[in-house]
Amino acid sequence: MVETMLAVISGIFLLTGGIFGILGGIGLLRFPDFYSRLHAAGITDTLCAFLIIIGLVIQAGLALVSIKLMLILIFMVFTAPTASHALARAGLAAGDDPATLESEPMEIAPLGSRGEPPSNS
């Protein structure tokens, strides 16, 4: 009885996490500029990852795997904002202006875009 309950709860967590992952991916495609896309990446880094790892922990129960999964979770919680901040800073340093509302950001990066193949969009 308890086993089935736990299985159902963890299944709900896992599937909700998957749905949030897909929503984050859709946001990554549809949001208008680089800084907005950072927020979409934020969904897949936070709630999607939380739900899936917690779902797996519920399934594994008290085991070494659970400790490692929780370590992965803690590590993601500490690195995800650092990576987002570094990306935002890099965009700022390249001269992307976050205050404007353009549908497509211009390719300004003087250093970053050198050696890039020409944009195919």
d(CA 18, CA 89): 29
Single residue of 2, 19, 61, 62 touching another protein by CB under 8 A: 19
Q: Does 9 bind another protein (CB under 8 A)?
A: no
57 and 15 in contact (C-beta within 8 Å)? no
CB of 103 to another protein, least distance (A): 10
54 and 16 in contact (C-beta within 8 Å)? no
CB of 104 to another protein, least distance (A): 6
Single residue of 1, 2, 5, 29 touching another protein by CB under 8 A: 29
43 and 23 in contact (C-beta within 8 Å)? yes
Question: Which residues neighbour 22 within 8 Å (Cβ) at sequence distance 6 or greater?
Answer: none
Single residue of 5, 9, 47, 61 touching another protein by CB under 8 A: 47
CB of 2 to another protein, least distance (A): 15
> Considering only residues 54-113, where is the footprint of another protein by CB under 8 A?
55-56, 59-60, 63-65, 67-69, 71-72, 75-77, 79-94, 96, 98-99, 101, 104-105, 107-109, 111-113
CB of 27 to another protein, least distance (A): 3
Specify burial of residue 117 (Cβ count, 10 A radius: 0-12, 13-18, 19+). exposed
Q: How many residues bind another protein (CB under 8 A)?
A: 88
96 and 108 in contact (C-beta within 8 Å)? yes
